[in-house]
A and B are shown apart, each in its own frame.
Chain A
């Protein structure tokens, strides 16, 4: 393969099983599910940051497909618009002007921000509402708005600061990885709209293979630290990045270097829950046992007589 040949992503896979239903759930918030009899092939969206031109076609496609609108805003000093994710904006291009200390070159880093669809989703772990957050066996993490109670626990669980709570209906919103499109064999709207194939979608294996080709190409162009962002701290993600500087993801608008579910959240949802229930139960049981063993603490007739004597003396 010639180094500088333009490598096209693989054609959309046709055998991605369609129709995501309750039978395809591997995780369900605040519930236990039995694993599906037949797991779907894991899918992934690969975002090649090195190929992104910042055109925002993906943002528009996302708004269109999800039937969302975002109000006209103001310039905040960069191309980021809106400046951050909102309940209506599931993806935002984050523009970073970075001077490479080695080459002194100004590099314009453009990262498409949005839900990473973690294999071990912190939002789902934190969610108290049964079934409000689900994970399908193909890896997609989805919010079920009928069941969402708007508590914002997912915001605390997420290592990437993704979910946003709507002030209109008080429910959490984020990228669905176009689960409704994937369910009928289509790729996500953003990938469909991307003019440079910076966003591609397919099975996770295919995407990793494609990423390898891209990383080889980038390395041949002098990006020695080019690599794949598929962070193991969250069990890998179903949205992955090809980064020219994979050794320092934080330069891409603070993409976390080693994301994982916060230990505070783990403690809250783990030990605290079990120890707390045990403690409350123990106190109630100790009270019951104590009463059975010692019996009621009753005032005796002598106590009453003593009180009468005391008050009588002073009358």
Chain B
């Protein structure tokens, strides 16, 4: 059996309760830099997206500062997310059980884990979030450069900029929706947030939500 579902640093500690190392300090730091960047980008972006949220420019020191700083935060996010991508992409490859999991989305939403197939480190929902984030961030950075007029105005035509600004807005709306799903899932599934704060989850959490991953870790020991 292949083991690319297990990432470096993942480890089981037997005991009462069992604890499982899920994210290394590096991965957590990497995640939170990305997370903070994404939140700042959403706030500064939404400020310029609709007049009703223009007041958010106040958080960044006014309109000029918001316009100046937004693309730079975007660069930070891109670089930071690239780190996450390198860490996580293998474990996010689509597997046979992911199709079954997706087909039983009704049970997922209802919280009936017993009807779902055993999944590895990430379930199909998490994988969709991962790949959606990856693609959207790529779209956002490319379209973002096309409208970063302070430095790159001469490289695109006005019509290309019009497309870029439309695509940038649509991709931004989509990624905010994906982000809401991501954050909501972490809150709804209790015991998840500790994975990104302390780096650990309980054995029961791993048994309930990522049993295949837990079995793999145990068999590896």
Interface on A for B, CB 8 Å cutoff? 30-31, 128-130, 147, 149-153, 155-156, 161, 165, 170, 262, 264-265, 267-268, 272-273, 275-277, 279-280, 283-284, 287, 290-291, 294-301, 303-308, 310-312, 314-315
Task: Give A268 to B159 CA distance when docked, in angstroms.
Answer: 13
Number of A-B residue pairs having CB atoms within 8 Å of each other in the complex: 162
Contacts of B177 in A (CB 8 A): 279-280, 283
In chain B, what residue has the closest Cβ to A268?
A: B166
By the criterion CB–CB under 8 Å, are B214 and A310 in contact? yes
Task: Give A304 to B54 CA distance when docked, in angstroms.
Answer: 48
By the criterion CB–CB under 8 Å, are A130 and B208 in contact? no
By the criterion CB–CB under 8 Å, are B170 and A276 in contact? yes
**Interface hub of B149, B162, B189, B214 (most chain A Cβ within 10 A):** B162
Task: Give A298 to B206 CA distance when docked, in angstroms.
Answer: 12
> Provided the pairs A268-B169, A310-B215 are in contact, do residues A299 and B202 lie with their beta carbons within 8 angstroms?
yes
A-contacting 9-mer, from B23-31, B62-70, B89-97: B62-70
- B183-217 CB mask vs A (1 if < 8 Å, else 0) is 01001111100000000001111111000001100
Additional pairs, 14, CB under 8 Å, beyond known A273-B49, A280-B173, A311-B218:
A129-B54, A129-B63, A151-B67, A155-B149, A156-B147, A156-B158, A165-B150, A287-B181, A299-B204, A303-B203, A304-B17, A307-B214, A308-B14, A310-B18
Task: Give A155 to B17 CA distance when docked, in angstroms.
Answer: 61
Contacts of A155 in B (CB 8 A): 149, 158, 161
Task: Give A11 to B14 CA distance when docked, in angstroms.
Answer: 96
By the criterion CB–CB under 8 Å, are A308 and B203 in contact? yes
Interface on B for A, CB 8 Å cutoff? 12, 14, 16-18, 47-51, 54, 57, 62-64, 66-68, 109-111, 113, 147, 149-150, 153, 158-159, 161-163, 165-166, 169-170, 172-173, 176-177, 180-181, 184, 187-191, 202-208, 214-215, 218-219, 221
Determine which of B47, B62, B169, B204 lies in contact with A272 in the assembled complex, contact meaning CB atoms within 8 Å.
B169
By the criterion CB–CB under 8 Å, are A298 and B18 in contact? no
By the criterion CB–CB under 8 Å, are B188 and A290 in contact? yes
Determine which of B47, B184, B203 lies in contact with A311 in the assembled complex, contact meaning CB atoms within 8 Å.
B203
Tell me the smallest distance from the CB of A159 to a CB of chain B, in Å.
Answer: 10
Task: Give A230 to B221 CA distance when docked, in angstroms.
Answer: 80
Task: Give A269 to B78 CA distance when docked, in angstroms.
Answer: 26
Contacts of A295 in B (CB 8 A): 111
By the criterion CB–CB under 8 Å, are A170 and B214 in contact? no
Tell me the smallest distance from the CB of B179 to a CB of chain A, in Å.
Answer: 9
> Provided the pairs A149-B64, A297-B189, A303-B207 are in contact, do residues A264 and B163 lie with their beta carbons within 8 angstroms?
yes
By the criterion CB–CB under 8 Å, are A300 and B169 in contact? no
Contacts of B189 in A (CB 8 A): 297
By the criterion CB–CB under 8 Å, are A310 and B163 in contact? no
By the criterion CB–CB under 8 Å, are A310 and B165 in contact? no
By the criterion CB–CB under 8 Å, are A272 and B173 in contact? yes
> Provided the pairs A276-B49, A308-B14 are in contact, do residues A262 and B149 lie with their beta carbons within 8 angstroms?
no
**Interface hub of B51, B111, B181 (most chain A Cβ within 10 A):** B51
| Residue contacts A-B, CB under 8 angstroms, 11 given | A170-B150, A268-B166, A280-B173, A283-B177, A287-B184, A297-B189, A299-B207, A304-B202, A308-B14, A314-B218, A314-B219
Task: Give A315 to B203 CA distance when docked, in angstroms.
Answer: 15
In chain B, what residue has the closest Cβ to A167?
A: B150
By the criterion CB–CB under 8 Å, are A297 and B188 in contact? yes
Tell me the smallest distance from the CB of A225 to a CB of chain B, in Å.
Answer: 29
Contacts of B181 in A (CB 8 A): 283, 287
Task: Give A88 to B148 CA distance when docked, in angstroms.
Answer: 21
Contacts of B64 in A (CB 8 A): 149-150, 170
> Provided the pairs A31-B51, A291-B188, A312-B14 are in contact, do residues A147 and B63 lie with their beta carbons within 8 angstroms?
yes
Tell me the smallest distance from the CB of B180 to a CB of chain A, in Å.
Answer: 4
By the criterion CB–CB under 8 Å, are A149 and B12 in contact? no
Contacts of A267 in B (CB 8 A): 166
> Provided the pairs A156-B162, A280-B177 are in contact, do residues A151 and B48 lie with their beta carbons within 8 angstroms?
yes
By the criterion CB–CB under 8 Å, are B190 and A297 in contact? yes
The 4 A-B residue pairs with the shortest CB-CB distance in the complex, in nearest-first order: A307-B203, A149-B63, A304-B204, A303-B204
> Provided the pairs A268-B169, A299-B191 are in contact, do residues A304 and B18 lie with their beta carbons within 8 angstroms?
yes
